[in-house]
Amino acid sequence: MNKIVSKEYLSERVVRFEVEAPLIARSRKAGHFVIVRVGKKGERVPYTIASADTKKGTITLVVQRVGKSSEKLCILEPGEYITDMVGPLGKATHIENFGTVVCAGGGVGVAPMLPIIEAMKNAGNRVISVLAARTKELIILEDQVREYSDEVVIMTDDGSYGEKGLITDGVEKVINSEKVDLCVTIGPAIMMKFVSKLTEKYNVPTVASLNTIMVDGTGMCGACRVTVDGKTKFVCIDGPEFDAHKVDFDEMLMRLKAYN
C-alpha cells in the first residue's frame, strides 16, 4: 500500500501524483518505471517514474487518463492508497556526455522524458527539448522542462501554442540547424515511429522508450515482447529504451491493439 501525498491536474486528462515509496525513491534512476495496481480486482499497469524525492521518500507519476485502469488511478485523492506498487523496473537510461541531445516528447511522454532531460543536462550535454501536443492545453510540464533544457521547441497540431506542426517538423528543424548527436523520443508509438523514420534519414542515433502492454514487468510473461533488429526482446527487462531505428514499430502498434 502506497499513500498518495499530493495530486495536481496538469491538463484535463493528465494527473501528477506524488506517492510514498521510500525504497523505490532511493533506488530508481532516469528511465525506470513502476507497476501499480488499484483495488483487489485491478490490473497491473506500468507508469514511468517522473521524479523522486529521496528525503521525503516519494516518487512522482504523471498519468494520462485513457481507459479503465488509468481512470481508477486518476480518481484517487491525497491520503488514499495505491493497492500495490512495485519497482523500479526496466533498465535505466544510458546517460553520458554525447554532445547535443534532442529530447522529443509527445503528449504525456513529456513526463517520462523529464528525468532523462535532467540527467542528460547534468552529464554536460546541450539539451534541446521538443515538446508536442494536439493543442495548447495538452502541453504539460513546460516549466520543468525549461529548467534543464538549453532550448525548448514547442509544436502544436493546431498552432494554438508554439509553432504549428508535428513533432517531426520540430525535430527536423533542429537537425537542420545544428549537429545533433543523439535523439531520445517518448510518446505514442505512432509518433515515435515517425520520429525514428526522420532521424534515420539524417543518421542521428535515436533511442525510443516503448510503452507496450505488460503484466508482471519482471520478464516472466512475455506480454511486452517487441522485435528489435529481427530478435524478440522483452520491453520490461531488455528495455524500455531501444535503438529506435531497429524497432519494428508496425508490429508494436499492432500488438498494442490486442485488447481493444
Ligand X SMILES: Cc1cc2nc3c(=O)[nH]c(=O)nc-3n(C[C@H](O)[C@H](O)[C@H](O)COP(=O)(O)OP(=O)(O)OC[C@H]3O[C@@H](n4cnc5c(N)ncnc54)[C@H](O)[C@@H]3O)c2cc1C
The reply to whether 84 sits near another protein by the rule CB under 8 A is: yes
Residues 137-166 that bind ligand FES (CB under 6 A): none
CA distance 153 to 167: 9
Among 47, 148, 234, 249, binds ligand FES (CB under 6 A): 234
Among 3, 13, 43, 173, binds another protein (CB under 8 A): 43
Q: How many helices (H) and strands (E) does the chain have?
A: 8, 17
Ramachandran bin of 190, using left for φ above 0, alpha for ψ from -120 to 50, beta for the remaining angles: alpha
Element (H, E) at 72: helix 68-74
Collapsing DSSP to helix, strand or coil, 118 comes out as helix
Residues 10-29 that bind another protein (CB under 8 A): 23-24, 27
CA distance 74 to 84: 15
Element (H, E) at 8: strand 2-11
CA distance 252 to 260: 14
Number of residues that bind ligand FES (CB under 6 A): 12
Residue with cell 537542420: 176
- Cis peptide bond upstream of 240, omega within 30: yes
Q: By CB under 8 A, which span of 3-11, 35-43, 52-60, 124-132 interacts with another protein? A: 35-43
Please state, in angstroms and as integers, the Cα–Cα distance from residue 159 to each residue in 112, 122, 132, following that order: 24, 32, 11
The listed partner (another protein, ligand X, ligand FES, none) that binds 24, CB under 5 to 8 Å by sort, is another protein
- C-alpha dihedral over 93, 97, 100, 106, to 10 degrees? 10
The listed partner (ligand X, ligand FES, another protein, none) that binds 169, CB under 5 to 8 Å by sort, is none
CA distance 3 to 209: 27
CB 124 to ligand X: min, Å: 26
CB nearer to another protein: pick between 85 and 108: 85
Among 31, 87, 109, 170, binds another protein (CB under 8 A): 87
CB nearer to ligand X: pick between 206 and 212: 212
The listed partner (ligand X, another protein, ligand FES, none) that binds 85, CB under 5 to 8 Å by sort, is another protein
CB nearer to ligand X: pick between 204 and 235: 235
Residues 195-234 that bind another protein (CB under 8 A): 215-216, 218-223, 225-227, 232
For residue 163, the cross-strand partners are 155
CB 77 to another protein: min, Å: 20
Q: By CB under 8 A, which span of 52-60, 82-90, 154-162, 239-247 interacts with another protein? A: 82-90
The contact pattern for ligand FES, residues 188-217, with x = CB under 6 A and - = no contact, is --------------------------xxxx
- Comparing CA positions, the residue from 130, 124, 122, 256 lying closest to residue 185 is 130
Site residues, ligand FES (CB under 6 A): 214-217, 219-224, 234, 236
